[in-house]
């Protein structure tokens, strides 16, 4: 599977063929009372059909906002201030509301991070699920759509799906609500599925089942998946490509194996080092010391500089003055860090 | 070593059933047996992990223990007093010692309150309520009181003055005074937007925020202006700021990246060690459970199927469900592939749970008796409790479902 | 559910008895006494003794209260000192008009207020929004009398002889009782439900098919309705706006958009019902103040409803009338709030009546 991904990842970016999704220089800022919060600040991303791209990164670094920007669902006072988003060659930021709403749910769909609050509290979950089908698949008979709702609920592992369809969201457990969200996301077999931490409330057995389901969708329907998660175990299992984000930008992008084998960016290294490992009990877990600089006034230079040990070890002056570019250091493995420029030259 | 008999919380035979209602008349159409008879004891200063299949009733246990929902049956002793018997008045001081971090942080945060005030709320709730209540009553009375003389005055004036304009001006002035107070009352009720003025409280709030890795400037933001993981940390900060002795943490770190997750876990561990804090920690991430918890209880469909110390459970999981659970843990290394125990069969529903052993419909090892008799939760040696017909204590003789015997085992070092 | 309703009704009984006691005590505490207020200069010692005896006012106060409770339990509100006939009859004569006025004002407030709130929430921070909210803030701060007098002045005096003229006071033409029009041979006693309905100024001609009569009476209702409805309208508009604004920022609204629901569906299907929850509560609460406001409005527009009767009852120390009207208002208040609570269950599945 990973081999396949590696092949897909080959250099066909220059020949005319479009990737499923291409995000270029995306910037989404929030214009708040206390200043401009640069939640997403120059993100590039490519997803091909049949590929799972995992986004990992510090809490609050702009993963969800990147996803919402793709769907053009950023609420005020937030706004996409720069950048282009292409879905199979079509530019999305210039589309109007109506065109976007036709795309949403059918060609791009999203599984939201906080499942229970993402379900409408006054409607039964079955009805909410049915709505997606009614909007995009009105050609199908109603009874069949209703059957599909039950089938979808069963597919995501909800017991007694027929009865559960008439539950209100507050009558479900956190994990059940999350599975309803997943069912909603895959209902219309979209071209691009964006899953924002879709398995946080699931136990590992059901998580495994859901991950299998997604992989199956990817293989059978050749869809692209953006998978946002904090669980490095899930990343290792699902991802073809991993993008590591930090403070609004992508700092490293690499095929999964390459990333786990040799993480290049000091942040990624810290992140991987702080994964608690099963069977190796530690009284204190490792953390990356320090905190992210405020997104309102980001200091110049590398965003990670204030916490970077490598910078001190290698005595890099540049880090504090100039922001590094994302550069391809190895085949398919790019990183945004001065450390590697030094090595190249 | 901890005093093994000092139980801060003792749950006995707890059942929570929900009626599913339908139709216009809200008739009962089924009963969800979310928690169906569990016994559990938690020692003072212990971190007890609660894991289990999604929807098996973990959250419900946590909420029932804090009396946020009503238990159908059973007893919950907190510091020796049965919580379920307390009147609202006697419950209140006990509530202050117990906190909960909710699974779904955004639903538990008031969207109109800045988070600084949200966190401070618990600290000042007493002082506030003492005069907020009489204040609004006073305003209501004032409103009434301005209405009556206005009305009588109007009648009186009406007889003498026929010029509506003069009258209008007079009453207009009086009316605006009344409505000014009315508006004030309405504002007061609407915005829980209390400025954190007291410097001591302010300092506590900032400390709590900093401990969970958030910034000072975050205090005057509203909940929807945060990322999912940031909101989750706000929930933790809110619980910690009150210095409780017992906290139910319902999947408190599921939305955090590993570094911040580790930071929060270290913090919880420090608090446990320094303040003898007791935690009921619900989570799905087994490596988190392993690094934090002293003892772990495994639930399946409203019942506890296994309780053991950390070392025991991870080295030597006994119940077939626990074994399946362990085998499904994803490993953060793309090159390792593991043999996974796939659970066959439909996931059973708490609306209509299987008889006898609830796991028998999906258990690889199930034998005839599993569908006939319910296995009791018994000590199978070394204080390892398990509810399975195939797991009997080495010394043959089952000890019955005596929970205390388990707890006398040595606590983890 | 039925159990809940019963329990609420039973719980309302002590509340109503409390109110009864309170008004009873309050009327007795007023200076002067009924005899002197009613008969003025004719009130001699002897006449008053007879007056008090006839109305049972010579008894000790606890005894009076006991008797009064007994009468109420039998459905007898007693006789008015001033009118000389039963309070029930007075109620049937006066109450329908007040009730109609209240209901019209409420409908006016809802029908205008909710859409205004929605529009300003949707076009948040636009000129429409700012305009509406300035209007709403003015609206809440305008007392009923003042607004009433201004409306009467503008529409009744300034706009006289234009098509915008509206009657500044009084009520419309008398219309034939609808049961007579229907040819029903009902026994319409002075306190029957038939008479009660026939006293409704606009409902009666409507039932009787007399459209001209309806229109005339309705026109007389318009200004009082606008005067009375403005405060709740402003409150409802403000509440709908802030509630909808809050709901539009909720995660589930984003989910609806992500599903591909069109804007109209997002607002009217997904957000509307959630946004209306607090508004329904406000509507229930403002019903009570509307009733008391109706009393004031009648005074301004010279409608002879409860307000008129209540005012003269207070000045005339007509104890029975004051007490009876207070209880009826209290009962309606309790009832409306019960209806709101039940409505809530249907709007919000998270609420359970237990
Ligand atoms: N309405 C808003 N106003 C101001 N700042 C905002 C707003 N919404 C989000 N942010 C900020 O934008 C940043 C990015 O948020 P985002 O939700 O994308 O984070 P995330 O990477 O998904 O984090 P997590 O893993 O915790 O969910 C956060 O720092 C957050 O505080
Ligand atoms: N208010 C309610 N009304 C009806 N059923 C409910 C209610 N709350 C919970 N349930 C049901 O109780 C069962 C247990 O739910 P609970 O939230 O305790 O599960 P959980 O173990 O926390 O699961 P998860 O890991 O998914 O959060 C579920 O079947 C759920 O549908
Ligand atoms: S650019 Fe410099 S500061 Fe930034 S990660 Fe690389 S070494 Fe560290
Ligand atoms: Mg997020
Ligand atoms: Mg839960």
- Please write down the HEC assignment for all residues of chain A: CHHHHHHHCCCCCCCCCCCCEEEEEEEEEEEECCEEEEEEEEEEEEECCCCEEEEEECCCCCHHHHHHHHHCCCCCCEEEEEEEEEECCEECCCCCHHHHHHHECCCEEEECCCCHHHCCCCCCHHHHHHHHHHHHCCCCCHHHHHHHHHHHHHHCCCCCHHHHCCCCHHHCCHHHHHHHHHHHHHCCCCCEEEEECCCCCCCHHHHHHHHHHHHHHHHHHCCEEEEECCCHHHHHHHCCEEEEEECCEEEEEEEHHHHHHCCCCHHHHHHHHCCCCCCCCCCCCCCCCCCCCCCCCCCCCCCCHHHCHHHHHHCCCHHHCCCCCCEEEECCEEECCHHHHHHHC
| Token pair for C340 | 């709101």
By the 8 A CB rule, do A86 and A70 touch? Answer: no
State the chains in contact with C (3 or more Cβ–Cβ pairs under 8 Å): A, B
By the 8 A CB rule, do A130 and A145 touch? Answer: yes
Parallel, antiparallel, or unpaired for β A241-246 and A52-57?
parallel
Q: What is the mean pLDDT of residues B227-238?
A: 91
Each residue's pLDDT expressed in tens, for chain A with a length of 345 residues: 444 444 444 334 444 567 899 999 999 999 988 889 999 999 999 999 999 999 999 999 999 999 999 999 998 889 999 999 999 988 998 888 888 988 998 899 999 998 989 999 999 999 999 999 999 888 888 899 999 999 999 999 898 898 889 899 999 999 999 999 999 999 988 999 999 999 999 988 889 889 999 999 999 999 999 999 999 989 999 999 999 999 999 999 999 999 999 999 999 999 998 888 877 788 888 888 888 888 888 888 899 998 998 888 888 888 888 899 888 888 889 999 998 875 554
Beta bridge partners of B14: B38
DSSP 8-class letter at C85:
S
Residue of C nearest to A185 (CA): C259
By the 8 A CB rule, do A232 and A225 touch? Answer: no
* Helix H or strand E segment including B13: strand B7-22
A168–C350 C-beta distance less than 8 A: yes
By the 8 A CB rule, do A290 and A279 touch? Answer: no
pLDDT at C258: 93
By the 8 A CB rule, do A330 and A263 touch? Answer: no
Residues of chain C found within 8 Å of residue B104, distances taken between Cβ atoms: none
Residue of A nearest to B314 (CA): A279
pLDDT at B4: 59
Q: Is B103 in the pocket of ligand 2 (CB under 6 A)?
A: yes
Counting from 1 in the atom list of ligand 3, the atom nearest the Cα of A318 is: 2
What 3-state class would DSSP assign to C190? coil
Residue A150 forms contact with B (CB below 8 Å): no
pLDDT at C88: 86
Closest CA to B262 of A64, A200, A277: A277
Give, for ligand 3, the residue of A271, A302, A340 to mutate: max count of ligand atoms closer than 8 Å to Cβ: A302
By the 8 A CB rule, do B34 and B350 touch? Answer: yes
Does B74 have pLDDT greater than 90?
Answer: yes
Closest CA to A91 of A31, A34, A26, A138: A26
Residue of A nearest to C254 (CA): A73
By the 8 A CB rule, do A20 and A192 touch? Answer: yes
By the 8 A CB rule, do B260 and B268 touch? Answer: no
- At residue B40, φ and ψ (nearest 5 deg) are -160, 135
Q: What is the dihedral of CA A255, A261, A262, A268, to 10 degrees?
A: 80
Q: How far is the CA of A57 from the centre of ligand 5 (A)?
A: 25
With 0-12 CB in 10 A as exposed, 13-18 as middle and 19+ as buried, what is C29? exposed
How many whole angstroms separate alpha carbon B70 and alpha carbon B17? Answer: 9
Q: Is B55 in the pocket of ligand 2 (CB under 6 A)?
A: yes
What 3-state class would DSSP assign to C316? coil
B147–C299 C-beta distance less than 8 A: no
pLDDT at B133: 46
Q: What is the mean pLDDT of residues B378-391?
A: 89
Beta bridge partners of A55: A228, A243
Q: Which of C249, C299, C311 sits opposite B224 (nearest CB)?
A: C249
Number of H helices, E strands in chain B: 11, 12
Chain C interface, mutation test: which of B26, B72, B106, B190, most C Cβ atoms within 10 Å?
B26
By the 8 A CB rule, do A246 and A267 touch? Answer: yes
* Whole-structure pTM value: 0.85
DSSP 8-class letter at B100:
E
What average pLDDT does the structure give for chain A? Answer: 88
Give, for ligand 1, the residue of B226, B228, B234, B255 to mutate: max count of ligand atoms closer than 8 Å to Cβ: B226
Q: What are the structural domains, with CATH classification, of chain C?
A: 87-303+341-347 (1.10.3720)
pLDDT digits (tens, 9 = 90+) for B310-345: 999 999 999 999 999 888 888 888 787 777 777 777
Q: How many residues does chain B have?
A: 413
How many whole angstroms separate alpha carbon C224 and alpha carbon C229? Answer: 8
Domain extents for chain A? 4-246, 264-343
* Helix H or strand E segment including B143: helix B115-160
Parallel, antiparallel, or unpaired for β A90-91 and A108-111?
unpaired
How many whole angstroms separate alpha carbon B131 and alpha carbon B392? Answer: 61
CB atoms within 10 A of CB B46: 25
Parallel, antiparallel, or unpaired for β A333-335 and A192-196?
unpaired
Does B274 have pLDDT greater than 80?
Answer: yes
Cis peptide before C306 (omega within 30 of 0): no
The distance from CA C134 to its chain's CA centroid, rounded to whole angstroms, is 26
pLDDT at C354: 62
pLDDT digits (tens, 9 = 90+) for B173-220: 555 555 555 555 554 544 443 444 567 788 888 888 888 888 888 888
| Token pair for C111 | 């029908």
Chain position carrying tokens 């990624």:
A268
pLDDT at B412: 39
By the 8 A CB rule, do B234 and B118 touch? Answer: yes
pLDDT at B282: 95
| Token pair for C147 | 């607004």
| Angle (CA) C205 C208 C214, round 5° | 20
Q: So what's the ipTM on this one?
A: 0.88
How many whole angstroms separate alpha carbon A216 and alpha carbon A219? Answer: 5
Contacts 24+ apart (CB under 8 A), C121-129: C121/C240, C121/C241, C121/C242, C121/C244, C121/C245, C121/C248, C121/C275, C122/C244, C122/C248, C122/C267, C124/C245, C129/C241
Tell me the H-state helices in C143-262: 144-151, 178-181, 193-198, 203-207, 211-248, 251-259
What 3-state class would DSSP assign to B38? strand
Chain C interface, mutation test: which of A67, A103, A122, A168, most C Cβ atoms within 10 Å?
A122
Architecture of domain A4-246: 3-Layer(aba) Sandwich (3.40)
Mean pLDDT by groups of 10 residues along chain C of 354 residues? 80 80 78 74 78 79 84 81 83 88 92 93 87 82 78 84 80 80 77 84 86 88 90 89 90 93 90 89 77 77 81 79 82 81 82 70
pLDDT digits (tens, 9 = 90+) for B110-167: 888 888 888 887 776 544 444 454 554 455 455 555 555 555 665 565 555 444 444 4
Residue of B nearest to C353 (CA): B26
Q: What residues contact A248, with CB distance under 8 A and at least 6 apart?
A: A38, A39, A40, A41, A42, A43, A61, A62, A295, A298, A303
């Amino acid at each position: 599977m990973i081999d396949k991904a590696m092949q897909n990842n080959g250099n066909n970016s220059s020949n005319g063929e479009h990737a499923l999704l291409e995000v270029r220089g995306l910037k989404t800022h929030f214009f708040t009372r206390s200043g401009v919060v640069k939640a997403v600040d120059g993100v590039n991303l490519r997803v091909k059909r049949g590929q799972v791209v995992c986004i990992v990164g510090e809490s609050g670094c702009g993963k969800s906002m990147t996803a919402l920007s793709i769907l053009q669902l950023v609420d005020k006072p937030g706004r996409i201030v720069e950048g282009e988003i292409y879905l199979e060659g079509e530019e999305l930021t210039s589309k109007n509301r109506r065109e976007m709403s036709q795309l949403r749910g059918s060609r791009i769909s999203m599984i939201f991070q906080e499942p229970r609050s993402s379900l409408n509290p006054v409607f039964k979950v079955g009805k909410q699920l049915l709505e997606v089908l009614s909007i995009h698949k009105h050609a199908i008979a109603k009874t069949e759509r209703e059957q599909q709702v039950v089938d979808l609920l069963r597919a995501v592992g909800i017991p007694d799906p027929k009865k559960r369809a008439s539950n209100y969201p507050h009558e479900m457990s956190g994990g059940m609500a999350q599975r309803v969200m997943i069912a909603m996301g895959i209902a219309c077999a979209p071209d691009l599925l964006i899953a924002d931490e879709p398995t946080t409330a699931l136990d590992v057995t059901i998580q495994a089942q859901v991950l299998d389901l997604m992989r199956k969708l990817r293989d059978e329907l050749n869809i692209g998946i953006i998978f946002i998660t904090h669980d490095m175990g899930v990343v290792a299992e699902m991802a073809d490509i991993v993008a590591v984000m930090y403070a609004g930008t992508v700092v490293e992008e690499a095929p999964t194996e390459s990333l786990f084998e040799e993480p290049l960016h000091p942040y990624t290294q810290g992140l991987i080092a702080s994964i608690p490992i099963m069977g190796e009990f530690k009284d204190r877990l490792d953390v990356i010391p320090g905190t992210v600089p405020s997104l309102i006034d980001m200091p110049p230079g590398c965003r990670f500089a204030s916490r970077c040990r490598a910078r001190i070890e290698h005595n890099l002056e540049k880090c504090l003055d100039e922001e590094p570019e994302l550069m391809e250091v190895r085949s398919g493995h790019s990183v945004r860090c001065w450390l590697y420029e030094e090595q190249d030259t | 070593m901890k005093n093994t008999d000092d139980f801060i919380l003792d749950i006995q035979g707890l059942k929570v059933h929900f009626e599913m209602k339908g139709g216009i008349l809200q008739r009962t159409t089924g009963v969800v047996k979310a928690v169906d008879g569990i016994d559990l004891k938690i020692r003072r200063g212990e971190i007890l992990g609660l894991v289990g299949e999604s929807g098996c009733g973990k959250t419900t246990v946590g909420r029932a223990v804090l009396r946020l929902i009503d238990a159908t049956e059973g007893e919950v002793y907190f510091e020796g007093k049965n919580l379920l018997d307390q009147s609202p008045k006697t419950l209140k001081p006990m509530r202050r010692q117990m906190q909960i971090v909710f699974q779904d942080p955004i639903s538990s945060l008031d969207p109109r309150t800045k988070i600084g005030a949200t966190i401070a709320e618990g600290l000042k709730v007493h002082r506030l309520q003492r005069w907020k209540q009489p204040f609004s009553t006073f305003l209501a009375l004032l409103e009434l009181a301005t209405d009556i003389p206005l009305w009588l005055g109007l009648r009186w004036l009406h007889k003498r003055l026929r010029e509506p304009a003069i009258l209008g001006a007079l009453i207009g002035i009086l009316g605006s005074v009344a409505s000014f107070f009315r508006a004030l009352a309405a504002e007061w009720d609407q915005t829980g937007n209390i400025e954190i003025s007291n410097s001591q409280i302010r300092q506590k709030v900032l400390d709590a925020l900093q401990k969970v890795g958030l910034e000072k400037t975050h205090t005057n933001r509203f909940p929807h202006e945060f990322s999912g993981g940031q909101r989750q940390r706000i929930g933790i900060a809110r619980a910690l700021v009150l210095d409780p002795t017992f906290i139910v943490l319902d999947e408190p770190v599921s939305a955090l990246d590993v570094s911040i997750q580790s930071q929060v876990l270290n913090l919880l561990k420090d608090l446990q060690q320094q303040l003898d804090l007791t935690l009921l920690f619900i989570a799905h991430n087994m490596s988190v459970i392993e690094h934090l918890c002293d003892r772990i209880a495994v639930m399946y469909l409203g019942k506890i199927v296994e309780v053991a110390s950390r070392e025991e459970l991870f080295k030597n999981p006994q119940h077939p469900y626990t074994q399946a659970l362990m085998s499904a843990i994803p490993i953060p290394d793309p090159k390792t592939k593991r043999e996974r125990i796939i659970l066959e069969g439909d996931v059973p529903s708490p609306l209509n749970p299987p008889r006898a052993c609830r796991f028998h419909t999906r258990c690889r090892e199930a034998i005839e008796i599993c569908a006939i008799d319910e296995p009791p939760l018994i000590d199978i040696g070394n204080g390892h409790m398990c509810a399975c017909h195939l797991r009997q204590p080495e010394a043959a003789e089952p000890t019955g479902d005596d929970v205390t015997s388990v707890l006398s085992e040595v606590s983890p070092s | 559910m039925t159990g809940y309703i019963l329990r609420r009704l039973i719980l309302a009984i002590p509340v109503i008895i409390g109110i009864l006691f309170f008004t009873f005590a309050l009327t007795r505490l007023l200076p002067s006494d009924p005899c002197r207020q009613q008969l003025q200069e004719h009130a001699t010692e002897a006449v008053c003794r007879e007056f008090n005896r006839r109305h049972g006012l010579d008894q000790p106060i606890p005894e009076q209260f006991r008797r009064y409770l007994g009468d109420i339990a039998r459905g007898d509100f007693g006789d008015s000192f001033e009118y000389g006939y039963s309070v029930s009859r007075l109620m049937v004569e006066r109450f329908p008009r007040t009730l109609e006025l209240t209901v019209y004002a409420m409908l006016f407030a809802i029908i205008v207020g909710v859409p205004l709130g929605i529009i300003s929430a949707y076009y948040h921070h636009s000129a429409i929004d700012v305009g509406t909210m300035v209007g709403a803030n003015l609206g809440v701060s305008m007392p009923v009398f003042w607004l009433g007098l201004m409306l009467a002045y503008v529409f009744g005096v300034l706009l006289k002889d234009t098509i915008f003229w509206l009657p500044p006071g009084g009520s419309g033409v008398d219309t034939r009782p609808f049961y007579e029009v229907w040819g029903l041979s009902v026994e319409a006693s002075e306190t029957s439900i038939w008479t009660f309905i026939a006293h409704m100024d606009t409902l009666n001609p409507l039932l009787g098919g007399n459209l001209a009569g309806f229109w005339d009476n309705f026109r007389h209702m318009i200004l009082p309705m606008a005067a009375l409805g403005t405060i709740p309208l402003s409150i409802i508009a403000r509440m709908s706006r802030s509630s909808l604004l809050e709901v539009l920022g909720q995660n589930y609204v984003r989910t609806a958009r992500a599903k591909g629901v069109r804007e109209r569906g997002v607002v009217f299907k997904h957000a509307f019902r959630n946004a209306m929850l607090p508004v329904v509560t406000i509507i229930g609460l403002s019903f009570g103040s509307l009733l008391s406001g109706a009393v004031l409005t009648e005074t301004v527009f010279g409608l002879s409803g409860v307000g008129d009767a209540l005012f003269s009852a207070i000045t005339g120390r007509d104890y029975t009338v004051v007490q009876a009207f207070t209880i009826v208002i209290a009962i309606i208040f309790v009832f409306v709030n019960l209806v709101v609570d039940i409505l809530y269950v249907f709007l919000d599945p998270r609420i359970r009546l237990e």
